[in-house]
Structure 1
Amino acid sequence: MTFTLSTTFPFDHVQHPDEFISMDAVHECARAVEQAGFTAGTVTDHPVPSSRWLESGGHYAQDPFVMLSMVGAVTTKLKLQTNILVLPYRNPFITARMVSSLDRFTNGRVILGLGAGYLKAEYKALGVEFDNRNDLMDEYIQAMKLAWTGEDFEFEGTGYKAPGNRMLPTPVQNPHPPLLVGGNSKRALRRAVEHGDAWHPFFVPKMVTDTARTANLSDDQDILDAIAYMADHCQKVGRATPPKVVASSTFTLKDDWSAQEALDHYAHLKSLGVDGSGASISTQSRTEYCEHALRFGEEVIAKLAF
């Protein structure tokens, strides 16, 4: 199967602690997702969201690397994906170290979805300048790639300097885990071409709440235009192969979800030039979460012929 499929883990649902906030939940959900045949299990990144955002439809998030480490410990094949890591929140070498450690100890299973984020209050709480986030994104990706070489490197960035440093061991994946660059803006598309392995869009308004301040990407033409824009930029910068397109979740599994509808949906995305997507599981019970995941594996993943 060349079309990849991910699903988001439910560990952010703090309103149901007995169901999702425990080691038992990690074990059960992770093993079900792997057994179902998903390419990757994903986690989000909001270390300190504002109460205003939470009350208007936002959500909590556990530490992504802690959660993926626990998932990696009870699985063997499932890819471990951030969806997304807000890259400017952390010093790039701290992030590079976490990614390298996780990739090494899970035998090369990390997929690094990353983006600039959009929550001003969270940026402020973390002491990072919101208006500089796009410049920091480009800078931090370059810094991390140097660190992942395993060689001595020098790099001067915004408020930090590596005068001659080294990071070992390197990630198992060479030269580094896949970088899925999030964001729907033209700058994000250029970033995917210049620094990434794939573009990782959110399709809006259907797939996110109105609390997400992101560029519109709501119909087929928007997707085709974005892919064409990346192809044009590849020619400008001399990139031979355009980034893949691996969307965030575009289909939701609720009690009445249809396997045929899911198959048709992913086939349509594939026809547009999308290489992968995700499925969200909407439930308040981890038993139901696992049941939906396993059914999806049997009735959708096993039957995808592209």
Structure 2
Amino acid sequence: MSNNTTTTSSSVDSPIDNASIKVSFLGLGVMGYPMAGHLAKSGFDVTVYNRTKAKSDKWVKEFQGALALSPAEAAKDADIVLMCVGNDNDVKDVASQALGTMGPGTLLIDHTTASAEVAREMFSLCQKQSIDFLDAPVSGGQAGAENGLLTVMVGGEQQAFDRAEAVFSAYARHSQLLGESGSGQLAKMMNQICIAGIVQGLAEALHFGQKAGLDCKAVIDVISKGAAQSWQMENRASTMLENHYDYGFAVDWMRKDLSIALDEARRNGSTLALTALVDQYYGDVQKMGGHRWDTSSLLMRLK
């Protein structure tokens, strides 16, 4: 395979071209629901499947398309099958059903944040059936999915990535092939490692400022213009100060992602001391009842 990186633009193919591509989307959670919607709005022939049929019914009512009652039914006759499910076990379960009806030359794309190990396993299974596979976790959260502004980190082969570009362009502002199978998941681990440290630093800074009696909103307005600036500061500092923690990516999901990263670190011999510590802090938040609070809720354990 080629190790050259490739990026997509924000444009999409014409609806006429996209309409000839049969796409199935498996998993209509907070990310999958809007992602599948962008595919429909971009003109693709979309079939959806979700474990809870009511969610599929709602999606079809909103975006048209077709509804399937199983992954196997959804994948039958599809050119490209996309998944966005919960964890490694979900990936294996849903993929095993979909692969039962996918034909040679089709493409399976997994947008789940899962382990690099399961990505490599899926790649091997697909190869045996002459099916292409990409592990393609995303970053940007619920807002990024709803606004079509996700970033897609991709592992797999160049020719499979090239086929997926039009699909990614429907809901992402940037996608990049980063290496062989599993590379997308490894990149997502790096993404979550970075976020964990940044959010903890922001929480401590706000805690410090409040204890010092400062106008933290005014301070954030100043320091966000300098080297301390981050996405988390721009988008979460004000809501943290208001004790609002219902903005998307939940603590439970973050702990799942950090667990994957820590497991991989034990395998490859890397040291993730800060990540391990922040993971424990998120455990404290869970004990406070914050399982579904968003990840910026680290400030709560300092109060």
Fold match, TM over 0.5? no
Q: TM-score normalized by structure 2?
A: 0.31
Q: Greater helix percent: which structure?
A: 2
- Larger RCO, structure (CA 8 Å, separation 6 or more): 1
Q: Greater strand percent: which structure?
A: 1
Which has the greater radius of gyration?
2
